Chains A and B, each alone.
Chain A
Amino acid sequence: MEKIVYNDQGLFHPGHVACGGCAEALSLRVILNTMGKNTIGVVSPSCTAVICGGYPMTSTSIPIFHTTLETAAAAAAGVRQALEARGEGDTQVLCLAGDGGTYDIGLQALSSAAERNEDILYVCFDNEGYMNTGGQKSSSTPTGARTGSTPTGKTTHKKNLVEILAAHRIPYIATASPSDLNDLRTKVERARDMRGMRVIIVLIPCLPGWGIADDSAVATARLAVETGLWPMVEIFDGRDWRLTHRRGTRSVAEYLKGQKRYNHLQTDDIEALGREVDEGWELLNARLGQGPAGGSGNPQHRAAANTG
């Protein structure tokens, strides 16, 4: 059995107020401790903001700037620029935002920071909806999922943020899952050691939002990977695409059946979702085949930072 390893330096503190069994808190633990103490966090309103905060307490050993919902990337850029101006360029800036703050209201600021190749690591905790406000639809909510604002199931597709980001040709993009913490750690390490705009999107099965048991967030994320619903990729410079986990072969239905948000789906809905996953993989496979070296470029690649 491969041992899960990350160096817990105690940068994430107990006593935070995440739901018991929260995969976002779990991922945060790995990410913070992998980034290390010389990091400043920028957090937009999200479960992470709640988890980190609660004045007068903070649950992180790194300083956190709580910003507004739509400004995560812009605020992170401000920290970055100030650090550079102060001669503290070796301090990392870690942006933590939800999918609402990333796919929706924060997309404009994110796109701008990406275009400017700001030297920040942007992590999106993608729980596929506005879960911190009680579970409403975001543009990351998948087809068919029921939320507080799509009571009969969402009728449109989940936004393909990876494609959008890749179009910005930023140095590094990755998707990750709390079901593979070694992979998450590796991706954070790789991103940490690069410069320029880096984005990691972590799938976060939300216990109340998805209607899953307290102990099942990791298992649900694992199923998302193993059914092919959540492709695990790394993209260098927007062109060099790689898979970090082969396409899973378990049935999409198996993934859906464990979640209350899908329990209204009929057989043909499930089949349609299966086709959507297949189409996603067709596109992804095409990308994998068209990198500079057939999708096997140099992972050690370092992109130059925007030095302003």
Chain B
Amino acid sequence: MDDLPSPLWTYLTSDNRLTGTWRSALPRHRDVPSPCRGACPVDGHIAEWIGQIRDGDMHKAWLTLVANNPFPAVIGRVCHHPCQSVCNRSELDETVSIRSLERHVGDHAIAQGWRLPAPGPATGRKVAIVGGGPAGLSAAWQLMRRGHAVTLFEASDAPGGLLRSGIPSYRLDKAVLDAEIARITQYGLDLRCGERISGRAGLEKLRKDFDAVYLATGASRPRHLPGLAPDSALARDGLAMDGAEFLRQTNAGETPPLGRHVVVIGGGSAAMDVARSARRLGHDVTILALEAEETLPAQRDEVIEAREEGISLVTGARVRAIEPAVTPRVAGLTLVCEKVRFIPGARRGEFTVEALADSAFDIDADAIVTAIGQDADPGIWDGLITADGALASTGDSWQTDLPGVFAGGDLASMDRFVSAAIGMGKEAAEAIDTYLNKAADHEAVNAPEVRFDEINTAYHPPAPRQIQENRPVEERLDSFIEVQLPLAAEQALAEAERCFSCGTCIYCDNCYVYCPDMAVIRLERGYEIRTDYCKGCGLCVAECPTGAVRMMAEVQ
């Protein structure tokens, strides 16, 4: 007994007692998707790049952005930002200004002249892309960074598609667009402008010459109203015009010869673009839309800005007939209108209307511009690919029924947003990559998105949202100068601070410092749970400010 240690004085430390056996669930650090990412058409890692802004690493933020979208400066201006609608922060105070932050990074990258990161090793595979709009360019970038050789055929004389021909400069400065496209073309893209790929033979040749083909020809066939088509009498007389053509001309710096008072028919972004462009060219403008104001497909900001600029909106109404003006004018028309109820259909773009009784009214106009949407034309390859109405038919991974041929963008979807087109281009590139017998490296996200109640708001004190200012109305109308002003650097930082970083580890150490059992180890970057000691209390989960740690049931 004498050689036993003293029964009074400890001689071991508690490290010998493995309390991990108490546990029934184990915390796991994992990048859980944020709601904004879930809503983002390009699956953008929003929480991550905003965190990088917060950390002061703009270059890293930009790299995170361009991994999913090579156009942050463009999208930071024109995105319909579904991310902001689902932002968890809006349950605390207000949504984070994600789009403004994206523009902030995108503009900074252009100013700094940053180049896209080097591509992976060349695979020797060749891919043809038809159409140089956002879907085609996005796919081109995603394929090139994976080492594939890409040839892009653009029918017009410059790439950009709708971004160039559809969106006015006051929303998207052409220099910004050029800069972001130039980065892609300089990356090794074989760009063939002015080459239209049409007919059966055109597509077959591509299939022969390339390992895969991506069709992203967009939606370039305008829809028309009876009596207002380009071949109508009114059009011939210069009293009616197609919206896409109007925008093509104005974007090219031309001035369509229309009379003073222009009525724009349509309620989408294109209608707003036409109306506001016309306003900048000195016209009095009225918008006539089927939808009620609150359901206009145009972005809310665009409608507000249009009104600010002195544009009249007549909503929930349609034209029944167009007659010469009752009151004699130089070239006067009278639009005989009626109020309607707009009933959306099951699919995007489908709808029905019911006329309201005794609701007739007239609008006088000098010209009418129709901007009620455009359709794709999957028939230009003479039925080589199957079409579903005005859309190319594709399977889950954007593959047509023609092996090796993929389609996307407006050609294959009614999701007519620029960001959606970029996202589709990315998805198609990933599918093509897989098709080209290379292991897919795109991540699959399965975990449920972070809910507001998973965010510990104690670490997120209320803070006012930083809003991007608009140029004053009186400065807007003289030219096509951009309306939206950028966030100041300190504003961007303050806004980045507001982001909850939902589901994204911000390396704040809370899980480490709050563990009563020293069961969280801090690594160079990230954390590890010591399963020998973790009792599974969940304090690290409760005190995680971003919801990036979750308890996982465990069978021991």
Contacts and interface: CB of A to CB of B under 8 A. Distances in A.
B423 interface: no
B15 interface: yes
Interface in B6-29: 7, 10-19, 22-23
A28 B17 CA distance: 18
A18 B516 contact: yes
A218 B510 CA distance: 12
A25 B458 contact: no
A58 B6 CA distance: 14
Interface stretch (B227-235, B403-411, B532-540): B532-540
B542 A215 contact: yes
B17 A3 contact: no
Interface string A69-91: 00000000000000000000000
A182 to B, nearest CB: 9
A245 to B, nearest CB: 13
Nearest to A58: B10
B14 A15 contact: yes
B543 interface: yes
A57 B508 contact: no
Interface in A4-35: 4-6, 8, 10, 12-26, 29-30
A14 B537 contact: no
Contact of B516 (A10, A29, A179): A29
Contacts of B543: 218
Contact of A20 (B7, B22, B460, B506): B22
B361 interface: no
B18 A56 contact: no
B63 interface: no
B514 interface: yes
Given A14-B14, A57-B17, A21 B518 contact: no
B114 interface: no
A20 B23 CA distance: 9
B530 interface: yes
A10, A20, A23 — most chain B CB neighbours (10 Å): A20
A16 B517 contact: yes
B509 A25 contact: no
A12 B518 contact: yes
B533 A15 contact: yes
A17 B539 contact: no
Nearest to A215: B538
A111 interface: no
B162 interface: no
B17 A20 contact: no
A70 to B, nearest CB: 21
B101 to A, nearest CB: 17
A146 B31 CA distance: 42
Interface string A34-58: 0000000000000000000111111
A181 interface: yes
Given A3-B508, A54-B14, A14 B530 contact: yes
B13 A4 contact: no
A10, A24, A57 — most chain B CB neighbours (10 Å): A57
A127 to B, nearest CB: 14
Given A1-B508, A25-B517, A55-B7, A217 B13 contact: no
B513 A6 contact: yes
Interface in B445-465: 456, 458-460
A272 interface: no
B113 interface: no
A276 interface: no
A2 to B, nearest CB: 8
Interface residues of B, number: 42
A198 interface: no
B510, B519, B537, B545 — most chain A CB neighbours (10 Å): B537
Contact of B536 (A1, A12, A20, A56): A20
A14 B538 contact: no
A20 B535 contact: yes
A216 interface: yes
A192 interface: no
B408 to A, nearest CB: 40
A214 B15 contact: no
A23 B537 CA distance: 11
B541 interface: yes
Contacts of A61: 13
A219 interface: yes
B516 A15 contact: no
Interface in B147-180: none
Given A4-B510, A14-B19, A59-B14, A222 B458 contact: yes
A3 B459 CA distance: 10
B223 to A, nearest CB: 51
A214 B516 contact: no
A151 to B, nearest CB: 28
B5 interface: yes
B96 to A, nearest CB: 15
Contact of A1 (B5, B459, B515, B538): B459
B516 A56 contact: no
B545 A21 contact: no
A6 B313 CA distance: 61
Contacts of A10: 518
Contacts of B530: 14
Contacts of B514: 4, 26, 181, 218
Contacts of B532: 14
A14 B542 contact: no
A21 B510 contact: no
Interface string B517-556: 1110000000000101101111101110100000000000
A26 B543 CA distance: 13
Nearest to A30: B513
A20 B25 CA distance: 12
A53 B8 CA distance: 11
B14 A25 contact: no
B138 to A, nearest CB: 34
A18 B516 CA distance: 8
A5 B508 CA distance: 10
A218 B14 contact: no
A55 B10 contact: yes
A13 B508 contact: no
B508 A14 contact: no
A4 B14 CA distance: 26
A71 B306 CA distance: 78
A139 to B, nearest CB: 27
A55 B15 CA distance: 13
Contacts of B538: 21, 214-215
A217 B535 CA distance: 15
A56 B10 contact: yes
Contacts of B545: 1
B14, B458, B518 — most chain A CB neighbours (10 Å): B14
Interface string B490-522: 000000010000000010111001111111000
Nearest to A55: B10
Contact of B513 (A4, A13, A14): A4
B80 to A, nearest CB: 30
A179 B19 CA distance: 24
A56 B16 CA distance: 10
Given A4-B510, A26-B514, A218-B514, 12 more contacts: A1-B497, A10-B518, A14-B533, A16-B14, A20-B535, A20-B537, A25-B516, A54-B17, A57-B16, A181-B514, A219-B458, A219-B542
14 contacts: A1-B506, A4-B510, A5-B513, A6-B513, A8-B513, A18-B517, A19-B535, A20-B516, A22-B516, A26-B514, A26-B539, A56-B11, A57-B10, A58-B10
Query: Which 6 pairs of residues, A with B, have the shortest CB-CB distance?
Result: A21-B537, A20-B535, A215-B538, A20-B537, A15-B14, A25-B516
